[in-house]
A and B are shown apart, each in its own frame.
Chain A
């Protein structure tokens, strides 16, 4: 009795989250894995244990093609986010003298996260469209004579939209990583005769790599699973893997194939996460 009373708070504190994980993460994954071995049969599907769905994914070129396209888009989004986020975070941490300005700029990056994802993606449609803001702007400058349809409904529009939406997840970890670097390290490097560029390449950048890796992981995984941007701003060649999965669960009524696709996708994402985890740890131990 007293044992229970003594341990009850602890059991509750640990037990509820564990139950949550079991109920809402492990159990659904188990169900998905089970479905992935089932068999499509009109009108729906029947229990079975066979690898047909996985074989289809790797032999039918349409699935491989969509996986590669998703991979390409995710890498482009992560790279674009990195190129924009790193100088920005660097400026905030090392160059921005005013603390108030720094807070404001940081908030400016975070604030869009409070706005609905759907709304933010939708806005890019009005910016990039044939009669959109960008086209009117370029025409008023005389750069183009007639509206261009090159900006919307293609992979470019998807990369732009996803970069805009996920860039906070790149800025935050890089900012944190840069903030942790003691300024005396760069000073020491300068004292030893290194120019600012050499100092950056040999001291600052390597020390911030764990943050970069975290940012890459986050933006990559988020883009990899996205299905709204293709729907809103993607063109006929914009189908990503999440759209294919949604189709299998909806229109095609082929939950087994949809589940198998989801499992393959999960494996890809988990591989990326564990690779980046390893990189981060290496960065930590090899660094300071």
Chain B
């Protein structure tokens, strides 16, 4: 299913024909699977009188092309923190009236301080959920648990390694090379990361593109170690009875944050703000935590709706964990250098 969705995402024509209909009191959200899950959206629809139409993206790269293909379709989007700035610079989103969002001040200050969601003193994104790009291994394949990124370069694991097909591969390789400034790499550092990835290539079974694909790769016994969206694929695999363990390597892990953004000129502002309020409340915050296994951006809402175990498991009470993550940062005009290097690795 996930693969099929990615295909649809890539085919612009199909995307157009699949565009949801515009109707009064209906908001169209372009988001990740789980972020508009019926388990909590149905309740919102009943109490607010607003209908929610969700279209799903397979990657952060889907937002810009979809909004460029034609405006006026989507009201709300949820790009990650490396893509939010692009949305602002492309003039696709409008500033938020934070006074109209209850619980705004309960959002982790670290998130509100991020550059990617603001411009000229105004907020354009409402932090919603976050997590780490952790690493993951199959329990039965390791006697001693892996602890380092270098384990993804081990000769004895040849043909059993997978890596996310994303520019973040450059971040991983740079850390392996000892370059910790992963969001401001020089051309030489990027070239070195590219070289490191080319060396790894013969060991790679497959670069994974979607969450479902990675789950399939583990399930079919094709790979034993990879990076992952912490909390998500591992719980899907647990449901399938495949025992995997997530770990943060000693070289550190990237962190991501997804924010809700209001598309410029939406005619459904009232419903949009009702929706934002719901997503930041206990209903939305625990909704996404329960469906996707992601951590919540509103600490106080999380505290009141999560069990103490879940609160701890999602690192909600652990500021040191959050601080240890290298939160994705917009690359601006360096973006091309990163994607170009990653494409060159794949072309090799």
Contacts and interface: CB of A to CB of B under 8 A. Distances in A.
B4 A249 contact: no
Interface in A131-184: 131-132, 147, 149, 152-153
Contacts of A63: 347
Interface residues of A toward B: which range?
35 or more
A42 B61 contact: no
Interface stretch (A81-89, A209-217, A231-239, A277-285): A231-239
B333 interface: yes
Given A129-B222, A228-B7, A254-B336, A43 B89 contact: yes
A31 to B, nearest CB: 12
Interface string B232-255: 000000000000000000000000
A149 B347 contact: no
B291 to A, nearest CB: 26
Contacts of A77: none
Q: What secondary structure prevails in chain A residues at the interface with B?
A: loop
A146 to B, nearest CB: 11
Contacts of A75: none
B290 interface: no
A235 B335 CA distance: 25
B184 to A, nearest CB: 15
Interface string B8-35: 0110100000000000000000000000
Contact of A252 (B201, B332, B339): B339
Contact of A244 (B90, B335, B343): B343
Given A62-B347, A130-B221, A153-B222, A249 B65 contact: yes
A42 B339 CA distance: 13
B201 A237 contact: yes
A66 B206 CA distance: 17
Contacts of B186: none
Contacts of B59: 250-251
Contact of A43 (B90, B159, B344): B90
B68 A236 contact: no
A85 to B, nearest CB: 28
B7 A250 contact: no
B220 A129 contact: yes
Nearest to B346: A239
Interface in B312-348: 332-333, 335-336, 339-340, 343-344, 346-348
B163 to A, nearest CB: 9
**Chain B interface mostly:** helix
A232 B4 CA distance: 11
B123 interface: no
Given A149-B159, A247-B343, A251-B167, A42 B332 contact: yes
Contact of A231 (B64, B204, B209, B343): B209
Contacts of A249: 12, 65
A246 interface: yes
B90 A44 contact: yes
A65 B62 contact: no
Contacts of A131: 220-221
B222 A149 contact: yes
B86 A118 contact: no
Nearest to A246: B10
B236 to A, nearest CB: 18
A238 B4 CA distance: 19
A40 B336 contact: yes
B205 A149 contact: yes
Given A131-B221, A149-B222, A236-B206, A250 B62 contact: yes
Contacts of A244: 343, 347
30 contacts: A42-B89, A42-B333, A42-B335, A62-B343, A63-B347, A65-B348, A118-B7, A129-B220, A129-B222, A130-B222, A131-B221, A149-B205, A153-B206, A227-B10, A228-B7, A231-B3, A232-B3, A235-B206, A236-B205, A236-B206, A236-B207, A236-B346, A239-B347, A247-B339, A247-B343, A250-B65, A252-B339, A253-B61, A253-B65, A253-B335
Closest 4 A-B residue pairs measured CB to CB?
A62-B347, A251-B61, A236-B204, A42-B333
